[in-house]
Structure 1
Amino acid sequence: MSGREQQYVQEAFATNWIAPLGPHVDAFEQEFAALVGSRHAAALSSGTAALHLALLLAGVGAGDDVLVSTLTFSASVNPIVYLGARPVFVDSEPTSWNLDPALVSATIERKVRQGKPPKAVVPVHLYGQSADMHPIMAVCERYGIPVIEDAAEALGSDYHGKAPGTFGKAGIYSFNGNKIITTSGGGMLVSDDADFVAHARKLATQARDPAPHYQHSEIGYNYRLSNVLAGIGRGQLQVLEERVVARRRNCAFYQQALGDLPGIAFMPEASWGRHTRWLTVITIDPAQSGTDREAIRVALEAENIEARPVWKPMHLQPIFERYERSGGSVAEAFFRDGLCLPSGSNLSEEDLERVVAVVRRGF
């Protein structure tokens, strides 16, 4: 926390706006939309809830195919399955580790020829860096396929000067406790389509019709953000840039201190935009280094330092392995060799030096 959040939380208590909705929710939506450059936003209970509503409103339903990054967390995929649709996992490209536009294009064209075009495409902007959106948008626009961007990990980054999450039909963000800013738990759905966001707000409040009595003409959900948590979010928004600077500083420190080690490489920063370095991620080539990702992770854990492997690709997950995939070897290599180093915005230089010392001993 920055300390600024307390003012808004105190306002929520002083005015007795505790339950979902309220002035902080309205203000948080407006401030967030302005920050990312979207016309409309709806504050929700999680990024997963936002993705669920966005896919539902994009028309995804039972039996539909939805293209999605395989190198991601399961929350990017679960809402597809909630709706009875089928994820089609698409591999990464090495420039940004994100969704491969060439594979997206080839998969869409193949499915169009088969008479079953995908119902939506979900690019995931991984670890604080945007996917290469221009070619992805071009092929999706050619075939009229809506793009729902999962920007949960990428708030504060940009792609040719524009925020990821604002290219497609809708974008979703997460304020979970581990994200670059947090409301402890929460999410946001953004879109330039006013009706789309208005409908999302309705569905998120149990789909109550505008009547003096309780009336419902469609199924709804309890997905709205509380006024208290929105107050925390307003305070966090004010320090987003500070958080990005701190995360990038962590990465620069690691690059300077570890870059000379044999077989080590850092997740690249693509030429098309700013990487927030939400997480600093390295790969370790065992053939060159004499060690591997898991040995270094265990060595860090022995010193009470948490590091984690790169996301295990979704096509390798037991719950999803039966679904179709396009490629996969690139994401599998990142998982095999990749390690996420401690990256918190509040890490001290002493903390970073401690991590570096353990990693260097492992080499």
Structure 2
Amino acid sequence: MIGKIWLSSPHMSDEGYEMEYIKEAFDTNWVAPLGANVTGFEKELAAKVNIKAAAALTTGTAAIHLALKSVGVGSGDVVFCQSLTFSATANPIIYQNAVPVFIDSNLETWNMDPNALEEAFIKYPNVKAVIVVHLYGLSADMDQIMEICNRYNVPVIEDAAESLGTYYKGTHTGTFGEYGIFSFNGNKIITTSGGGMLVSNNEEQIAKTRFWATQARDQARHYQHSELGFNYRMSNVVAGIGRGQLRVLDQRVVKKKYIFNFYQKELGGLEGVSFMPINEWNEPNCWLSCITLSGAVRPFDIMIDLEQNNIESRPIWKPMHLQPFFAEYDYVGGTVSEQLFENGVCLPSDTKMTDEDLERVCTLIKRMWK
């Protein structure tokens, strides 16, 4: 049987960097949470994206949760959130008993539409925070978004779960807002099997989030807790995987871009096929290569055909305002996010794919136009 082609699966380094750090953790018996790998991973990732401080956590979702808590989001507060995203972006708003208001995307970036954001501020002037997403490694238009949010004096949280290694005008995504978050889930550009990172230039507040993430245990001989805490700290073994993976991040970005360019060359001439937007100010990591369709061939046709040939693909994220759980919450904008969901396909973008794998995918897709 022909081997499975995955959408985006874990890819450990050929050099075995991860095992060096894991072995150190085992040799020193620091396999429990905290230890040299956790501290090292925080410092190394902060240096990689050129930001002052980072906190290694169990998930990117936990990072968003603590970011919302850090900016003071509480019961009844309104939080603007990009609608076209995965539910992990929006769920922490509910954890804080706050109220999400979902914002449409634009076709230029596939991310938060600054015009819709401006409209939302007029409707909800007392908003507490804004969560913007860098979808599929494509940067949002951060100049416009930051200008609007700064004008209203509202903090920005960047969900950069999919965009580690992406630059906006020469600066890493995840470093523009008050907080940025990264994810190291198994399908991300680098992985720790599961994990996340909260980053900020506010070193004092990052220290506070580490305290919350370690069950908010006060400095006392006995177990004393003056605040609500969470069990959110990354383990020393998991952080060791992350340190090894971080050393090959640049290689992974190069391969992701190669995959995108391969698809663009092979499929770009098909009638009705458009690729996710690459702007001159955006240097994406191309985490997933995504297309939209406007002709007779539909996303479902491609996904089913690839599936029958042992190839994994996915639809574009279903917007949050269309999700049953979030149906009661307000939405500001037009139909762009809905159109992208209805017409989009995420093509297999696994960094272990060979040229033969890519040709196999393209051949299957192109035959649908014959």
TM-score (norm 1): 0.97
Once residues 328 and 218 of structure 1 are traced to their aligned partners in structure 2, the CA distance between those partners, rounded to angstroms, is: 42
Aligned counterpart for 1:103 among listed residues 116, 129, 133? 116
User: Which residue does the alignment assign to 2:52?
Assistant: 39
Match of 1:315 among 307, 315, 321: 321
How far 1:321 sits from its partner (Å)?
1.0
2:243 — aligned with what?
A: 234
Alignment check: 8 A CA contact 1:68 1:90 kept: yes
Paired AA for residue 230 in structure 1: A
> Does the residue aligned with 1:271 lie in a helix, a strand or coil?
coil
**Partner of residue 79, structure 1:** 92
Deviation of the 1:198 alpha carbon: 0.7
In structure 2, the residue matched to 1:123 is 132
- Say if 2:289 is the partner of 1:280: yes
Which one of 30, 51, 62 corresponds to residue 43 of structure 2?
30
**Is residue 53 from structure 1 mapped to residue 66 from structure 2 by the alignment?**
yes
Equivalent position of 1:164 in the other structure: 173
Shift of 1:328: 4.1
Q: Does 1:256 align with 2:265?
A: yes
Structure 2 letter corresponding to 1:294: F
The answer as to whether partners of 2:106 and 2:113 remain within 8 angstroms in 1 is yes
Give the aligned length.
356
Q: CA deviation at 1:139?
A: 1.4
Q: Which amino acid letter does the alignment assign opposite residue 344 of structure 1?
A: D
- Give yes or no for the alignment of 1:190 onto 2:187: no
One-letter amino acid of the structure 2 residue matched with residue 84 of structure 1:
N
CA–CA separation in structure 1 for the residues paired with 2:105 and 2:281 = 16
For 1:353, the aligned partner's letter is: E
Q: Secondary structure at the match of 1:89?
A: strand
Point out 4+ residue stretches in structure 1 off by more than 6 angstroms. Answer: none
Map of 1:295 onto structure 2: 301
Cα-Cα RMSD: 0.8
Q: CA deviation at 1:195?
A: 1.4
> Which consecutive residues of structure 1, in runs of 5 or more, have no partner in the other structure?
none
- Bigger RCO (CA 8 Å, 6+ sep): 2
Greater Cα offset, 244-253 or 327-336: 327-336
Q: Is the aligned partner of 1:304 residue 2:310?
A: yes
Relative to structure 1, the CA distance from residue 210 to residue 328 in structure 2 (aligned partners, 3 Å threshold; closer, same or farther) is: farther
Conservation of the 8 A alpha-carbon contact between 1:90 and 1:328: no
Q: Could you tell me how far apart the structure 2 residues matched to 1:331 and 1:187 are?
A: 26
Alpha-carbon distance between aligned partners in 2 of 1:194 and 1:268, rounded to the nearest angstrom: 35
For residue 77 of structure 1, give the secondary structure of its aligned residue in structure 2.
Answer: helix
With the length of structure 2 as denominator, give the TM-score of the two structures: 0.95
- Structure 2 gaps, min length 5: 1-11
| Secondary structure of 1:87 counterpart | strand
CA contact (8 A) 2:119 2:332 kept: no
Match in the other structure for 1:204: 213
- Aligned partners of 1:253, 1:146: CA distance in 2, in Å? 39
Retained in 1: the 8 A contact 2:38–2:240? yes
Q: Is the 8 A contact 2:161 2:181 kept in 1?
A: yes
Equivalent-residue separation in structure 1 for 2:103 and 2:133 (angstroms): 11
CA shift for structure 1 position 183? 0.3
Q: In the alignment, what sits opposite 1:8?
A: 21
Deviation at residue 110 of structure 1 after TM alignment: 2.6
